[in-house]
Amino acid sequence: MESSSTGLLPRFPIQLAVTDLCASYSKTPLLPIFHALPARSGHQLPIVTGTLTLFAIFLLFIRQWKGSKLSNNSQAHRYPPMIDIPEEEMFTRPQEAYESALLKHGPVIGVRRKGRLEYIVDENLTKEVLANDRDFSFEHGTARILNLWFLMPLSKGKFFKNSQMMVTGGIIPRIDKIVDQIFPTFKDRAKEMIDESQLSGKGVDLFAHVHRCIAEAMLIVALGKHNVNDLNLQVTEETAHAIAVMTGIYQNASPFARAYPTLWKVVTWVRLVWEVIIFKYFRVIVPIIWKEIRGRKYQPLHTSTPNKLDEQESHDEPLVHYIARMYTNDQGRVSILSTLWVSTLVLSFIFVSVHQTAAVAVWVVFELSMRKEYIPAIREELSVVADSIDNDGIQRLSYEALRRSTTLDSFIREVFRTKGDTLSVIRATTRDVPLGEHIIPKDNLIYPLASLTHRSRRMHGEGASEFNPGQWAEGPASSTVGQGYLPFGFGRWACPGRILAVTEIKMITLALLATSTPEIEGGKYFVADPLNVTSVPPLGSLLLRPIKSKSDPVHL
């Protein structure tokens, strides 16, 4: 499945899953194999896989049976109305389908999707749901929707808190240094894309290139540049894609997965945990983490102060060292179990930082390609904020320069607001919760319909449905969350890595614009999954036309 010309993540698994409506579960986006590691075969494999599959089916059946029971049937008359949305409308026209149902029966409705009851609320109840984490839990909702519920008991309920601490303490304070470390990667990958497009005269697969670019950059951030090589990069890419599949990001594209979600989860998880997580990630990446952590002593994070820590070390250390200090004992060592947990946190970091950022980066570049009238102003700003220009004509960009690229930032924010998010932010009820005139039963999932919030005239004025980046010229920034802007969530659980994500999107966009003009082949792109535009990139082929100078006109 490796691309013979680039070795990148192939595009066709996603396209097949979207376009082939008769696809079986095997047509769900598959894991690309770049340079396959030695296969593990033998008569034990089918027995182990079959046993694990049956056990997983039993656990999921018990869990879903328990979760399907209403907690207080005496309150059933106050439950929101149950609305039947046809599957065809739900998965092909979700905005219209959900908005119409809420308009007729809202402000809160119950809908069954992929065998699961979900509650949907309109923009008037969004803040009440997202700001009240005591009754509407981010952690339980996210763990369930991403098929990661088992991590909650394993981490004693601290998985998301640990992940948040990992980013807010190990990434954000070092963002300027991180940009210095990874910008050369973005510059080089952008040049590869431009060269490929110009030499072939054809469009490039933007998601494949950006996916690899960000995978390499995050490998530098997580493990250090000395651990970046072809094999580690390929395993990082495969791992990010495998987790994307396992967490259900491509599930909407498979009729089998929609009809038999429990069986699909079991088959997918057993296959990918066995083939990728165990025999690739744990064989290639985990030994590196083990060597990095177990081979040295650390000063525990809870006893570290700016005066005690070596300033240069804390500034330059890879993320894995910061995470290790989160779990260091008083003797300066990290236990074996803690080392394995650090490996799990690195795994989660790889998935979120690689797949999610690559997907939304494609949205930004594709929209810019369709709206070329915004390119001259962004290029002009680039020439002003850039620190210097290299021999290839590409500007060197520091974090401060990227932060000052407000014209591009405004464009990014408007793309995020208008790209069509629907069920992108989730919570789970921790008790029977009164909401409006209704009661939402305990242990149920609840979503604000993001499209209503993002196009609310009350929040965004009469032109709420129009694309207008200029309204953000004076702020807020694209990484700033708010009641009317939900791409990164809301409240205390807003995405902690949003500043890094926006910074990476700016780097790839500006590196492309420095020497080329992007154009969608055929003049349009295809929305692969209208119900999950947040995580599934649009499909299209990107042409990159060379420019002779920054003053070249943009042909609209």
Taking only the tens place, the pLDDT of each residue in 193-247 is: 999 999 999 999 999 999 999 999 999 999 999 999 999 999 999 999 999 999 9
Tens of pLDDT, residues 350-363:
999 999 999 999 99
Distance CA 146, CA 117 (A): 15
Higher pLDDT, residue 294 or 196: 196
Higher pLDDT, residue 22 or 90: 90
Higher pLDDT, residue 396 or 19: 396
Distance CA 173, CA 180 (A): 14
Tens of pLDDT, residues 475-505:
999 999 999 999 999 999 999 999 999 999 9
Among 108-117, 233-242, 311-320, the least confident range: 311-320
Residues 6+ apart with CB under 8 A from 153: none
Percent of residues in the chain assigned helix, strand, coil, to nearest 5: 60, 10, 35
Distance CA 367, CA 361 (A): 10
Q: What is the pLDDT of residue 396?
A: 84
**Which amino acid type is present at position 274?**
W
Higher pLDDT, residue 325 or 57: 325
pLDDT band at 388, cuts 50/70/90? Answer: confident
Distance CA 284, CA 299 (A): 27
CA distances from 192 to 196, 233, 455 (A): 6, 17, 38
Q: What is the pLDDT of residue 135?
A: 97
pTM, entire model: 0.87
Residues 6+ apart with CB under 8 A from 60: 262, 265, 266
Scanning the structure block, which residue is given the tokens 């082929």? Answer: 541
pLDDT band at 55, cuts 50/70/90? Answer: low
CA distances from 2 to 31, 33, 230, 426 (A): 10, 6, 14, 35
Q: How far apart are the first and last CA of the chain?
A: 36
Q: Determine contact, residues 4/203, Cβ cutoff 8 Å.
A: no
For residues 102-130, give the mean pLDDT.
95
pLDDT band at 46, cuts 50/70/90? Answer: low
For residues 279-303, give the mean pLDDT.
90
Q: What is the pLDDT of residue 18?
A: 41
**3-class SS letters over 220-265:** HHHHCHHHCCHHHHHHHHHHHHHHHHHCCCCHHHCHHHHHCHHHHH
Higher pLDDT, residue 300 or 334: 334
Q: Does 213 count as an annotated binding residue?
A: no
Q: Determine contact, residues 357/504, Cβ cutoff 8 Å.
A: yes
Distance CA 192, CA 149 (A): 40
Extract the tokens encoding 56.
Answer: 């997983």
pLDDT band at 45, cuts 50/70/90? Answer: very low
Q: Look at residue 495 and give its three-state secondary structure.
A: coil
Residue 28 has pLDDT above 90, yes or no: no
Domains recognised in the chain with CATH numbers: 76-546 (1.10.630.10)
Q: For residue 516, give the H/E element and its range.
A: strand 516-520
Q: For residue 275, give the H/E element and its range.
A: none
Q: What is the pLDDT of residue 139?
A: 95
Q: What is the pLDDT of residue 488?
A: 96
Among 237-246, 288-297, 368-377, 507-516, the least confident range: 288-297
Peptide bond into 94 cis (omega under 30): no
Q: Determine contact, residues 138/160, Cβ cutoff 8 Å.
A: yes
Q: What are residue 485's DSSP bridge partners?
A: 482
Distance CA 326, CA 324 (A): 5
Q: What is the pLDDT of residue 63?
A: 52
Q: Determine contact, residues 179/402, Cβ cutoff 8 Å.
A: yes
- Mean pLDDT across the chain: 85
Higher pLDDT, residue 556 or 475: 475
Q: What is the pLDDT of residue 317?
A: 84
For residues 121-125, give the mean pLDDT.
96
Q: What are residue 517's DSSP bridge partners?
A: 545
Extract the tokens encoding 22.
Answer: 């008769």
Residue 27 has pLDDT above 50, yes or no: no
Burial 467-478 (b: 16+ CB within 10 A, else e): eebeebeeeeeb
Q: Determine contact, residues 541/16, Cβ cutoff 8 Å.
A: no
Residue 273 has pLDDT above 70, yes or no: yes
> What is the CA 475 to chain-centroid distance, rounded?
24
